Amino acid sequence: MPSSNRYQPIPSSSPSPSPSSPTPRSSERRGDALPDYFSANKGLFFMMLSASTLLLFLGLGLPYTIGQSEQRQVTLSATQSTSLAAASIASSSVDPATSKSAAAAAVTSLSTSTSISQITSLNASASFAASVNSTSTFLAPNATSTSTPPSNNSTNSTSPYPYLNLTYISNPVSAPINRSYYNPSSKWDEAHRKALRYLANWTVEEKVQLTTGMGWEQGRCLGNIAPIPSRNFSGLCLMDSPLGIRLTDFNSAFPAGVNVASTFDKDLMYARGYAMGQEFKGKGAHIALGPMTNMYRVPAGGRNWEGFGGDPYLSGWATQMTIWGIQDAGVQATVKHYIGNEQERNRTTSDSQIADRTMREIYSHPFLKAVQADVASVMCSYNLMNGSWACQNSEMLNGILKEDFGFRGYVMSDWNAQHSGVLSANSGLDMTMPGDIEQKSLTSYWGRNLTESINNGSVPVDRLDDMAQRIMASYFLLGQDQGYPEVNFDSARPRAEANNSHVDVRDDHWKVIQHIGAASTVLLKNVNNTLPLKSPRSMTLIGSDLGPSYKGPNGYSDRGGDEGTLAMGWGSGTCNFPYLVDPLQAISLQARKDGTTLDWWFNDFDTDSAKYWATGYDVALVGINSDSGEAYITVDGNEGDRNNISAWHNGSELVQAVASVNNKTVVIVHSVGPIDMEDWIDHPNVTAVLWAGLPGQESGNALVDILYGSYNPSGRLPYTIAKKQDDYPANIDYVNTDVPEHPAVEYKEQLNIDYRHFLSKNITPRYEFGYGLSYTTFEYSGLDMWDNGDWNKRDSEDEDDFEDEDDDESTTTPTTITTAATNTTGSNTSNNGTLGDSGSGSTRSTNSTGKLGSFTRESLHRTRWTLSVDVTNSGGLFGCDIPQLYLAYPPEAGEPPKVLRDFNRVQLSPGETKNVRFELSRYDVSIWDVVKQKWVVPKGTFGIEVGRSSMDEKSVKIDWCFRGCS
């Protein structure tokens, strides 16, 4: 269970002016705005263009969907096939004559339509001007905007978005509208009732406006839902990122997600989320686009560092605690990217092929924990999932998320990840971001097109009611209708002073940032107590990662470059540094205090000089790093994902050079993920290694805390560091995105992600998941386990039968929150596709009870068994330890040899012993039965193990039978 020791609110600070240097996600575009056949029909094209230009003053102009399509196994009515909104799912085989006829009819339909586009509340002339001159500001016409700072090593790259030539193979699951819930939430119930009352008299156009973003850079935020003054609705502001509010100033730069995972500390996970939530709210942002909880499937994945590591339970805990923190501060959290977005290469064209059991037990688990944390929003991803685009995959959205999990918030698209109008709406998408199909195109799949779809019946009116109600329920859930701050910045126009108030939202958040930086640092090696340092007489720093960048901390837009110390990766998951304390700066202050002489050499490629400046010093610190980020930026030839797991900037050679002349070489690693350490890790002169990850703005201060023993290292690796890249269960296939058109990313390793694979294949890594040393030592003893005895007797007799349990839970009355319209149902057909022995498609059957949220049922997640273990500090220093609970399933269950199920953090003085407890639910010990489509507790004997890592040979163990034993 999560800790109840929540952090208290911290009052906000007063404003103070300062400029910032943002770069919007302008390069996340999705291909050409017009199909190729228009080149052969220029007359028609210009006729349509003229009509579209005229209609810009009325709304979004001619929709992009005319004549463009994706081949689908979808039967459309005659009305649907001719409507503008349904054009996105028509046949992809376009006949020029037919195209002319359809286009002419579309223009006629637009010119005679009486509906008004609701994509933006700005006046038409301002919208049109914005589309012509992106540097101007409609909010402050006389203000000026400066261009993005130049970047030497980063390039923004775009590629055309190829049309889908695959059939639609996801189960067509109908939207779960007007259903009761297995576990009704009083908070969600009240929020939905309030939303239902609030929306009672709204028009179709007004409801559509809630679902459709205003368009790229058509507001102050990265995503904008326009205000509706007549309804006393001020609109919504959506902002990145998962480590701090992006493209603003006077904000904090928090440690990356992977670092908070390294703490294995649930309280720190919450504290970081709460502090970030305070800053988003202080800036007037309603919706924080985080946390990111995709899995560390491939070691070179570009955005791995934004997430929480290579185990679903670690990621699930970090996701849940982060969401609680953000939303306790009054901000809507958005968990992303749902689902199968584990790499950047071909992320907008690839098809993630994940077996049913693998999906349930690994990749959807963190999202389940997000739903249990009452997350307001879920962002769907760019890729295809088992053959269907993630943002219109009804099995993923309507089926798993809204039906199985009982998610009661709204689903938003990633920016320009929507691929259809009618299909995406009926498949479960609730909000499109940023609203336009192509950034700044002023066209949309929704907006006027969605209004048209509602009016002609292509999208049921109750689906629109459901979309609007979900969005407003999340708004009311967080109390954002009461005294919420106004947006006080302009992410697209940061130099327009009339739009930017420069409100300082940092307060004293540097304290929790420094704390996490120290708590997340992993001590990998420490020979003969090299660390902590004890006032050395002389010291040298080798390697550019230990010093500042000559371009400053924000010199590369969206951090798309690697100069100086590395404290965050690159891409939309970043924010501006208010400052960056590099190791040189912090160590210099400590050296002055200790009387240590300090030299340094920061030319990574001049190893001869590095040797000279490492000779004769009491201790030599060597700093190396490895960087990655989002695909729209390329750094040193790395297109988001890393090309390999080698250290950057000649790092391996640099360590070897220093170690050849100094017998007390300490290596400090700032990295987005695992690196190859084999050339130097066993060198006898490399006596200590600190893995510092991406610690944020207080990087140097946190490092000094560890180096000199102010903080006893307690961080643990949230992923495995292998001896070579080929040892990992999966790696990126660096194929050209056009060959094939939709490259398959096959999750062939299935359940054997990260350490599970190494255990299954008996491969010895360099450092395993959960590993981390301390300046003291710990011992475990007295592992015990017992039944709680307060759960229903019938559960023990038939643990895998949900239907039988319903009779015993009659004390809870499911709550139904309805919309104004009547529910419509869709067909449920099975998907017989397979992948491996688990099956890629579910065998979902009609939910006869009409209840939602079977996966979040209290009976499945309540504590059934409790474990306890005694932890003793057997060393001479105060320190923290993190006992980790692992289960070894019976062999017949088909699970990996060992899986993490919980972890805890305990602080101990020398000689002190404390009892640490863990709790297990039926869900925790179940597997997903792909035939029964249920969670089933396997029969047989389990191994219960508590240790200091996933491969701790000194762990304490017992056996236990949960079901089917005498």
Our CA angle for 219, 224, 225, nearest 5°, is 125
CA 136 – CA 134 distance, rounded (Å): 6
Catalytic residue selected from 265, 414, 490, 582: 414
For residue 257 the two structure tokens come to: 């997600």
CB 225 within 8 A of CB 209: yes
Mean pLDDT of the residues in the chain: 82
Out of 14-28, 110-124, 867-881, the most confident range is 867-881
Tens-place pLDDT, residues 887-913: 999 999 999 999 999 999 999 999 999
pLDDT value of residue 550: 97
Neighbours of 960 (CB within 10 A): 17
The rounded distance, in Å, linking the Cα atoms of 898 and 889 is 7
Closest CA to 552 of 123, 916, 957, 151: 151
Active site residue 481: no
Determine the Cα–Cα distance for residues 303 and 288; give it in Å rounded to an integer. 17
Residue 690's closest CA among 638, 628, 619, 629? 619
Mean pLDDT to the nearest integer, 219-231: 97
Non-local CB neighbours of 129 within 8 Å, separated by 6+ positions = 136, 138
pLDDT for 172 equals: 85
Cβ neighbours of 449 (radius 10 Å): 32
| pLDDT, tens digit (0-9, with 9 covering 90-100), for 441-496 | 989 999 999 999 999 999 999 999 999 999 999 999 999 999 999 999 999 999 99
pLDDT at position 920 over 80: yes
- Separation of CA 271 from chain center: 18
Q: Give the percent of the chain with pLDDT over 70.
A: 76
Note the pLDDT of residue 789: 78
Q: Which two tokens stand for residue 256?
A: 């990356």
DSSP for 421-441 reads: SHHHHHHT--BBSSSSSSTT-
Lowest mean pLDDT among 168-172, 395-399, 439-443: 168-172
Contact predicate 258/718, CB 8 Å: yes
pLDDT, average across residues 585-606: 98
Share of the chain above pLDDT 90, in %: 74
pLDDT of residue 966: 65
Band of the pLDDT at 570, cuts 50, 70, 90?
very high
Using alpha carbons, select from 290, 687, 341, 280 the residue that is nearest to residue 524: 687
Backbone angles phi, psi at 872, to 5 degrees: -120, 135
The predicted model gives 363-369 an average pLDDT of 98
What integer pLDDT is reported at residue 169 of this predicted model?
56
**Sequence-distant (≥ 6) Cβ neighbours of residue 391 within 8 angstroms:** 380, 381, 397, 411, 413, 414, 417, 418, 419, 424, 429
Report residue 174 as tokens.
């109908």
Q: How far apart are CA 257 and CA 272, in angstroms?
A: 10
pLDDT value at 109 more than 90: no
pLDDT-based confidence at 740, cuts 50/70/90?
A: confident
Distance CA 221, CA 611 (A): 50
Domains, the chain: 189-499 (3.20.20.300), 509-718 (3.40.50.1700), 778-790+852-963 (2.60.40.10)
Q: Give the C-alpha distances (Å, rounded to integers) separating 286 from 277, 283, 651, 760.
A: 10, 9, 42, 45
Q: Taking the CA of residue 754 as centre, how many other CA atoms within 13 Å lie in the half-sphere pointing to its CB?
A: 32
Mean pLDDT of the 240-246 span: 98
> Which pair of tokens denotes residue 444?
């949309």
Pairwise CA distance, residues 609 & 47, whole Å = 68
Write out the two tokens for 696: 């944020």
Given a cut of 60, whether residue 513 has pLDDT beyond it is yes
At 73, is the pLDDT very low, low, confident or very high (cuts 50, 70, 90)? very low
Helices (H), 113-185: 124-132
Cis previous bond, 291, omega within 30 = yes
Distances in Å between the alpha carbon of 551 and those of 251, 564, 572?
20, 9, 20
What is the phi/psi pair of residue 896, to 5°?
-60, 165
- Calculate Rg over the CA atoms of the chain: 28
